[in-house]
Amino acid sequence: EAGVAQSPRYKIIEKRQSVAFWCNPISGHATLYWYQQILGQGPKLLIQFQNNGVVDDSQLPKDRFSAERLKGVDSTLKIQPAKLEDSAVYLCASSLRGAGGASFGPGTRLTVT
Amino acid sequence: AQSVSQHNHHVILSEAASLELGCNYSYGGTVNLFWYVQYPGQHLQLLLKYFSGDPLVKGIKGFEAEFIKSKFSFNLRKPSVQWSDTAEYFCAVNIPGNTPLVFGKGTRLSVIA
């Protein structure tokens, strides 16, 4: 089966600019996650969707980050405006409901200058 | 909330040496446990997982892990490492059900000839 797809793979922006990332999960996976992985740390959950509804966004900095999954398939994560500390790899993952674990995409490496 | 501790930040081993990476979690209830691996330039991949049953689980590429409930531990082992095992290893936990993974900070393994 095709894996989780993400684009772009790399993005460099200046602080205060906006950026958007796209994710296409594995077909049939109702649960979708966005994680942030800062260099030297493990992935940290930003938001979890079940179909097109938000299950957990408690760690999403909502003053600058937003995410949507309008049709319950693809998802976009946006940062506006970006800060230097947003430099990280943004990982998208998906899973079957209740399966445990998740399959991860290749990530988008964001550099904010 | 759950948390995961990985004791070693960077481990350097010679080929054919035995490997043990430590992982402890904090949560009083039932958990699912995972080890993920990230090879250089690649995305996170599942090595093995424990849900219930035999506490010794075997994964891909000769890796195994043992769940010791009394110690809240899930250490990863491999009897003889190869150069190709050079990667970053992440321990993760979630609560059974449709809950997100919580990751440790990761352990970087370097295998030298």
pLDDT tens digits for range A34-80: 999 999 899 999 999 999 899 999 999 999 999 999 888 999 999 99
Say yes or no to pLDDT of A1 above 80.
no
**A78-112 pLDDT, tens digit each:** 999 999 999 999 999 999 876 678 999 999 999 99
**What average pLDDT does the structure give for chain B?**
95
Taking the C-alpha atoms of residue A8 and residue A78, their distance in angstroms, rounded to an integer, is 13
Residue of chain B minimizing CA distance to A106: B43
Task: Please answer yes or no on whether B94 and A107 come within 8 Å at the CB atom.
Answer: no
Distance from CA of A13 to the nearest CA of B (A): 22
- For residues B33 and B53, the answer to whether their CB atoms sit within 8 Å is no
Taking the C-alpha atoms of residue A60 and residue A97, their distance in angstroms, rounded to an integer, is 22
Query: Residue B72's domain is classified under what CATH number?
Result: 2.60.40.10
**B78-110 pLDDT, tens digit each:** 999 999 999 999 999 999 887 899 999 999 999
**Which residues of A are less than 8 Å from B33 in CB distance?**
none
Q: Parse chain A into domains and list their residue ranges.
A: 31-95
- What residue ranges in chain B does DSSP mark as E strands? 3-5, 10-14, 19-21, 24-26, 32-38, 45-50, 56-58, 64-68, 73-78, 87-94, 102-103, 107-112
Distance from CA of B50 to the nearest CA of A (A): 10
With b for 16 or more beta-carbon neighbours within 10 A and e for fewer, the A63-90 pattern comes to eebbbebeeebebebebeebeeebbbbb
Say yes or no to pLDDT of A24 above 80.
yes
Q: How confident is the model at residue B2 (pLDDT cuts 50, 70, 90)?
A: confident
Of A31, A42, A56, the CB nearest to B103: A42
Q: Compute CA distances A97 → A90, A110, B101, B108, B112, whole Å.
A: 22, 29, 13, 31, 40
Q: How confident is the model at residue B35 (pLDDT cuts 50, 70, 90)?
A: very high
Specify the pLDDT at position A99: 65
Residue of chain A minimizing CA distance to B34: A101
User: Best residue in B6, B98, B103 to probe A by mutation, most A CBs within 10 Å?
Assistant: B98
Q: What is the mean pLDDT of residues A4-25?
A: 97
Say yes or no to pLDDT of B51 above 90.
yes
- What residue ranges in A5-107 does DSSP mark as E strands? 5-7, 10-13, 19-24, 31-37, 44-50, 53-56, 65-68, 75-79, 88-95, 103-104
Domain that holds residue B47: 3-112
Task: Please answer yes or no on whether A42 and B97 come within 8 Å at the CB atom.
Answer: no
Please determine, looking at this structure, whether the domain spanning A31-95 carries the CATH number 3.40.50.10790: no
Domain count, chain B: 1
